[in-house]
Amino acid sequence: MSPFLLTRTLPEDAAGAALRADVLHGLTRTPKSLPPKWFYDARGSALFDEITTLPEYYPTRAEREILVDRAAEIAAATGARTLVELGSGSSDKTRHLIDAMPELHTYVPVDVSESALTGAANTLIAERPALDVHALIADFTRGLALPGTPGPRLVAFLGGTIGNLLPAERAAFLTSVRGLLSPGDALLLGTDLVKDEGVLVAAYDDTTGVTAAFNKNVLHVINRELGADFDPDAYAHVAVWDRAREWIEMRLRSRAAQTVKVPALDLAVHFEEGEDLRTEISAKFREEVVKSELAAADLSLTHWWTDERARFALSLSTP
């Protein structure tokens, strides 16, 4: 039986302290905003899994198509013996890659969710008993130290989640990833692509309201964790395409003037009628933009693969 190691790099109460800091910072400035990572409690993760099955939400299917079609090419291009996956979640996507990597020795899933990590690791170990799994409970956006494992390494950051980061955050993130890579290593990056505004907005505002429930889930998280009294029905789900900055914004729009109490922070937050709380950006990319952002982090784009309908892209880059 191969060893399954689980390393906790976040102190137990890290999430609580981070949530308090993010809510205090985000709700006491104009415009109000919150980081999207707080969507993902158990209910939020389940809602996101449901989103990935919606007809309007194409990114997951598009990325899976590329992974299935190109896994052997990706494996051959890297010869990786260690696969590090940032924000691994349930590792569903990764299975296509792992199945195509005969020399793979160690899989290092990295996520803030211990339950997602242990669930994915147990499934993988059952299927690939020879595989070493070293799971890291870590917030990879705050810097990362990787365990010593056989090289070369392939670091994968899939799903288009890099689009959640603002441009300055992306630059810092890519630079920190570059710091993890040695010669012979590579980064596999999933990026959603710029396309028709109607298609983009529909993917973030489905007709059945699952994305609306996902968006409002952050209010439930703050109510539960910080004792706040947000009324989710007092906010409207909004998804807009920012043409200039080429990103989708999800917002919660206050239907009326209202004041919300957040006792854990001894805070009262006032919303004007029609005032927006930005809950997520999801940036959409063009090949030349990805190439230049990678180059700014001293990474050279070597491969660019899209799905048949060029909705989503996987890129491979090297130090």
Residue set of the binding site: 57, 87, 93, 111, 139-140, 164, 204, 280-282
* 200-229 positions binding ligand AVJ, by CB under 6 A: 204, 211
- 164 interacts with ligand AVJ by CB under 6 A: yes
Task: Report, in Å, the least distance between residue 243 CB and ligand AVJ.
Answer: 18
Burial (CB count within 10 angstroms: exposed 0-12, middle 13-18, buried 19+), residue 274: exposed
Comparison of 12 and 196: residue with beta carbon closer to ligand AVJ: 196
Comparison of 4 and 50: residue with beta carbon closer to ligand AVJ: 50
Q: Applying CB under 6 A, which part among 134-142, 161-169, 193-201, 301-309 lies near ligand AVJ?
A: 161-169
- 35 interacts with ligand AVJ by CB under 6 A: no
Comparison of 104 and 239: residue with beta carbon closer to ligand AVJ: 239
* 275-294 positions binding ligand AVJ, by CB under 6 A: 280, 282
- 161 interacts with ligand AVJ by CB under 6 A: yes
Contacting residue, 26, 35, 109, 160, with ligand AVJ by CB under 6 A: 160
Q: How far is CA 277 from its chain centroid?
A: 20
| Calculated CA dihedral for residues 305, 35, 37, 318, nearest 10 degrees | 30
Comparison of 185 and 249: residue with beta carbon closer to ligand AVJ: 249
CA–CA distance, 174 with 26 (Å, rounded to integer): 24
Contacting residue, 133, 159, 191, 221, with ligand AVJ by CB under 6 A: 159
Binding track over 112-151 against ligand AVJ, x by CB under 6 A = ----------------------------------------
How far, in Å, are 60, 158, 204 from residue 248 at the CA level? 16, 18, 8
Taking each helix axis as running N to C, give the angle between helix 92-99 and helix 59-78, from 0 to 180 degrees, rounded to the nearest 10.
Answer: 30
Comparison of 113 and 164: residue with beta carbon closer to ligand AVJ: 164
SS (H, E, C) the chain: CCCEEEEECCCCCHHHHHHHHHHHHHHCCCCEECCHHHHCCHHHHHHHHHHCCCCCCCHHHHHHHHHHHHHHHHHHHHCCCEEEEECCCCCHHHHHHHHCCCCCCEEEEEECCHHHHHHHHHHHHHHCCCCEEEEEECCHHHCCCCCCCCCCEEEEECCCHHHHCCHHHHHHHHHHHHCCCCCCCEEEEEEEECCCHHHHHHHCCCCCCHHHHHHHHHHHHHHHHHCCCCCHHHEEEEEEEECCCCEEEEEEEECCCEEEEEHHHCEEEEECCCCEEEEEEEECECHHHHHHHHHHCCCEEEEEEECCCCCEEEEEEEC
Comparison of 140 and 204: residue with beta carbon closer to ligand AVJ: 204
Nearest to ligand AVJ by Cβ — which residue? 282
Task: Report, in Å, the least distance between residue 183 CB and ligand AVJ.
Answer: 30
Q: How many residues of this chain bind ligand AVJ (CB under 6 A)? A: 11
Q: Which residues are annotated as a binding site for L-histidine?
A: 57, 164, 204, 280-282
Task: Report, in Å, the least distance between residue 248 CB and ligand AVJ.
Answer: 7
Task: Report, in Å, the least distance between residue 312 CB and ligand AVJ.
Answer: 10
Q: Applying CB under 6 A, which part among 64-72, 159-167, 218-226, 296-304 lies near ligand AVJ?
A: 159-167
Q: Applying CB under 6 A, which part among 100-108, 116-124, 138-146, 154-162 lies near ligand AVJ?
A: 154-162
Binding positions for ligand AVJ, rule: CB under 6 A: 51, 59, 159-161, 163-164, 204, 211, 280, 282
